Amino acid sequence: MSESKKAVRSFVLSIAIGQAAYIPLVCLGFLIAGRLSLSVFAGAVYGSAAMILYYFLFANATAKAAEDQDPAAAKKRIQAAYSLRMFLLVVLIGLGLFFSTDYSPVKIFHWLPIIISMIVPRITIAVWQILNAKKADAEEKEGD
């Protein structure tokens, strides 16, 4: 397996772990508030799935651009992938929010877990970077 595929797998796995930890936490928060319902769980799962897909596409596009020899082509690839990911994210989150309103034929999701799930990857990435920095420091100290 190439180095870029390993990096993509590691990155997406960390996002998926963060999102998997988020789902019971948001359900616990709603339980404490006395507002827990199946729509809260469904919204958390849906929002998490959308964000995992978004960051998977992000990692793949970045890895492919890094392998590109032409910087101009790499920049165009990143820009095109960004536009596609943003469009996909707007559609997915928009659908989730639509199915959390009274206007939809079926109210499947609660809107708040969907919105919160968009913040979770940033927190996960920050924790992941801190852990990798500590791991690199520990390996560096062992090498001395």
- pTM exceeds 0.85, yes or no: yes
What single-letter DSSP state applies at residue 2?
-
What single-letter DSSP state applies at residue 102?
T
**Total domains in the fold of the chain:** 1
The rounded distance, in Å, linking the Cα atoms of 36 and 30 is 5
pLDDT, one tens digit per residue, over 113-138 is 999 999 999 999 999 999 989 988 98
Domain of residue 66 covers 3-143
* Residue pair 55/121 in contact by the 8 Å Cβ criterion: yes
How many CB atoms lie under 10 A from the CB of residue 33? 9
Phi-psi group of 55: left, alpha or beta (phi > 0 → left; psi -120 to 50 → alpha; rest → beta): alpha
pLDDT, one tens digit per residue, over 60-105 is 999 999 888 899 988 998 999 999 999 999 999 999 999 999 999 9
How many CB atoms lie under 10 A from the CB of residue 59? 19
The rounded distance, in Å, linking the Cα atoms of 123 and 137 is 21
pLDDT category, 144, cuts 50, 70, 90? low
